Amino acid sequence: MQTQTHEPMLTQQEQALIPIAAFTASGNLTSLSSSLHIGLDAGLTISEVREVLVQMYAYTGFPRSLNALGALMAVVNERKQQGLVDVEGISADSLCEPQSSLDIGTENQTQLVGQPVTGALFDFAPAIDHYLKAHLFGDIFARDILSWKQRELATIAALANMQGVNSQLQAHYGISLNNGITVEQLHQFTDLIRQHCGDDIADNAQTVLSGVLGE
């Protein structure tokens, strides 16, 4: 079980994750490259940024994730040539628990959401339920490079900058509130989305958030 912390505002590193995930989702590699520089300057390790970009494939698809990883590789090499020293960071611990990815993922998903996840959609398409539990919440969310709070910040940033996924954004706002992100930090999140992605994207993100909060 991950320990939840409730800081009054998002840290500089947490703030830096937001445009990285958002521009990965939209495929804006120019803005992504600038955000990667800012994130590394803010103290994110290379492994933390790389982990965000790997996770993004589950939400944005392999093409966006692979392009973003290529951009990170180019930025890291560029910074090395400039004499900048970025911290590599930790490697993920292997899953040594005597459990399957499905068992681990089911436990993680239940903890993240606050209750077991069931529904007609998953009865209709049980394969997607299996993949969500075993791969996303098992193989990916069990990796300890990022906290669940960091993973949820990256997730809502990506979803906010994608069209047609408001129901998923709504769900992940709820998951965020269950995993160490406060109401104040979510309002700060929409402000940062406005700063990086513009009014239209931010207005939609704020509307969805207001619905979740009953504002």
CATH of the domain at 208: 1.20.1290.10
Same domain, 160 and 140: no
Query: What's the average model confidence in pLDDT over 184-211?
Result: 98
Same domain, 194 and 101: no
What whole-number distance in Å separates Cα of residue 19 and Cα of residue 35? 6
Instruction: State the pLDDT at residue 98.
Output: 52
How many structural domains does the chain have? 2
Report the 3 state secondary structure along 11-74. Answer: CHHHHHHHHHHHHHHHCCHHHHHHHHHHHHHCCCCHHHHHHHHHHCHHHHCHHHHHHHHHHHHH
Same domain, 48 and 61: yes
pTM (2 d.p.): 0.92
**Is 205 within a domain?**
yes
pLDDT band at 99 (very low <50, low <70, confident <90, very high): confident
Same domain, 19 and 110: no
Query: What's the average model confidence in pLDDT over 118-123?
Result: 94
Same domain, 22 and 60: yes
Same domain, 122 and 194: no
What would the pLDDT profile of 146-170 be if each residue is shown by its tens digit? 999 999 999 999 999 999 999 999 9
Name the residue range of residue 118's domain: 97-144
Same domain, 133 and 182: no
Same domain, 123 and 161: no
The candidate with the shortest Cα–Cα distance to 33, out of 43, 44, 47, 19, is 19
**Is 7 within a domain?**
no
Number of other CB atoms surrounding residue 79 within 10 Å: 17
**Is 35 within a domain?**
yes
**Is 1 within a domain?**
no
**Is 3 within a domain?**
no
Same domain, 150 and 129: no
